[in-house]
Each structure stands twice: as C-alpha cells, then as structure tokens.
Amino acid sequence: MKIRGVELRRVAMPLVAPFRTSFGTETTRDVLLVRADTGDAEGWGECVAMAEPLYSPEYTDAAADVLRRFLVPRLAAAPHLDAYQVAGVLAPIKGHRMAKAALETAVLDAELRAAGRSFAREFGAVRDRVPCGVSVGIMDSIPQLLDAVAGYLAEGYVRIKLKIEPGWDVEPVRAVRERFGDDVLLQVDANTAYTLADARHLARLDPFDLLLIEQPLDEEDVLGHATLAKQISTPVCLDESITSARTAAAALTLGACSVVNIKPGRVGGYLEARRIHDLCAAHGVPVWCGGMLETGLGRAANVALAALPGFTLPGDTSASGRYFATDLTEPFVLEDGALAVPPGPGLGVSPLPAVLDDVTVATEWISA
C-alpha cells in the first residue's frame, strides 16, 4: 500500500449539554479528522486531542501541525506500507500519540476497507454487541445530578461514572447510592484532581461499593497510586498514566492499579490498545474502553475494540445522542443497554456528506 495523500479536516461538533470535568468544561467538540487516500480505498481516523492541553499535553492545533510537518511526510516517504508498520515509521517522532493514532487508524481503515475486513474481525472481537456505560459530568447541584443519572438509567445505560473533584465527591456518590440503590454499577473518575495527601478522604468512598476510582492522582505519580491502592479498598484504575503496553506493565508490576482504562488515542492507536488488552488479559486484569467524546467515526472503532474478550467492564462507548444532536455518521443507538458492533469493512461507518459539510470549519490536503 502507498499513501497518495492525506486530508486534515477540522469540524466543530456542538455538544447537547456542557460537559464538565475537574480540568474544564466543553460545550463544543473541536475535532481533527484524518482521511488517508491509498488509491484502492480511503480511510478515516479521528484525533481525540482537545482544543486546549488540559487533559493531556496534546491539543488540536498541535496535532494538526505535527501531522502536517512531520508525520504525514514521513509516512508518505515509505515505499511500501501497511497499518502494522505505521508505528515503527513514526517512532522517531517523539510523543504525539493522539496524532499518530489518528493517522494509523486512517491507514488501517483504508487497508481493511480494501480487503473487505472489519475492525472487529481484525482485532479478534468475540461479541457483536457491547454493554455501555455513561460518563456524567460535574453538575451545579446534587438534584441536577440525580435527575441526569435517572435519565441515563431510564435510557438503559448499564453503568454510571461520576466525574469528581475536591468538594464534589463523597456527597454526590452518597446521593446517587441512596437514590438508586446498591445494584447500580457505579464508579468515579477524578482526572488527576487529588494528591496522596487526600488518601484518608478518598477512603470515605469505600463504603459505597464502587467498581473503581479512576486516575485519582497525577498521571506521573505511579508510585503514589501504588501507595494509595494499599490505603483504600476501592479498586484503583489508571487512565492518563497508561500511555503504552510498557507503562501498563510497569503499573501492574508496581501494584498501582487493578483495573485499566484503555483509550486508543491516548496510547498511540488501536493496535497498541490491543497489546494492552492482551497484556492485561494474560495477568487477569479487567479492562474497559474509555471515551473522549468521539464522533461516530471514533465510536465505531471503540465499539469494535470493546468487543474483545478482556473488556469485561462496561465502557464509556455511549450512544451518539449522549453528546451530539446530529452525529457525523449514522447514529449509534442504545438498545437494551448495548451498542451494536459495526460489521462492515473497516470502521463499518462513513461520514454523512451533508453533515460533514455542515460542521467542517477547515480542510487541508497534503499530497504525497
């Protein structure tokens, strides 16, 4: 396969409601899409970097720049290429995993579309439907939170994740447990908002029988997580700290977590995400698929990944309507608490031309 050219496309996707976490509030998703043309087929990738470097060091403008100046030219210079070679070709460029993931995904999508194979088949999926959880942002009040959770449970979501931060943690969790009972699968996500000095406070979450607490400490504080895991009974899950199969192996060896959130964009792509899945499965560690407010393109790939056997916990692969009134693709609809895995070639979905045109704010073609 030879890359003929790559299109970088910026789209602005308004969210149905503001989404607040410990690091900020989003009202519109600024998305960078990557379309790779191989001559035989075209493939799509979605860069999950945010508009500002608050969740991670990467951000949308920087991802576009590194793709334009370094990643696409390096890939285009390769005389022969397949998706499994992309990471090695791009390895001399340090970091920029989200940008690399988008480009690798576009190449993989094109390759699989040309071959008539789906992402699910390529990854080794064992299910054609995956159970879905939902991530609930920080609210202005507990009554507002309870109304939101009630709505998501009524829609059929099988797991609730509450975003937390200092001052919004124990009481919201207590309120949800008291209102909806112990049978609701419930977990919390701190997005690095705490320090090890907060260990006694975080232990106050233990009585609520949470599935896990996600990334309570700074992403670089792996040893701190190992210490915290010994001081609380709630299972510790790592998100931002897991950037590769190598860092996942180190975290597991240190006892820094007993659950892993796999976000393909954060680890450099779906092929590395599958390696992390395989590592965790070999060690009996449950994994689940995190979300980054993806459009239908990213959601299709996430759902296919979440159909692998080691994904034993419901992920954040929510329905399209959770975030967008109109998705880029045919919408993913929740049915009986699950989303269907696309069976078609490649991602199994494509952007709807009229929708894509309506939300596009800029395009750039990089010829090989």
Could you tell me the mean pLDDT of each successive run of 10 residues in the chain, 368 residues long?
A: 93 90 86 95 97 93 98 92 94 97 98 97 97 95 97 97 97 98 97 97 98 98 98 98 97 98 97 98 97 96 98 95 95 96 98 97 94
Rounded Cα gap, residues 305 and 271, in angstroms: 10
State residue 71's pLDDT score: 97
CATH number of the domain located at residue range(s) 5-115+353-367 in this protein: 3.30.390.10
pTM: 0.95
CATH code 3.20.20.120 region(s) in the chain: 121-340
Rounded Cα gap, residues 95 and 89, in angstroms: 13
Question: Quick check: 273 and 267 in contact, CB under 8 A?
Answer: yes
Rounded Cα gap, residues 225 and 128, in angstroms: 35
DSSP three-state, residue 349: coil
Question: Quick check: 134 and 318 in contact, CB under 8 A?
Answer: yes
pLDDT in tens, 106-131: 999 999 999 999 999 999 999 999 99
Phi first, then psi, for residue 347 (nearest 5°) are: -65, -25
CATH code 3.30.390.10 region(s) in the chain: 5-115+353-367
Quote the distance between the C-alpha of residue 289 and its chain's center.
Answer: 6
State residue 18's pLDDT score: 84
CATH number among 3.30.470.20, 2.30.40.10, 3.40.50.300, 3.20.20.120, domain 121-340: 3.20.20.120
- What amino acid positions are annotated as catalytic residues? 163, 263
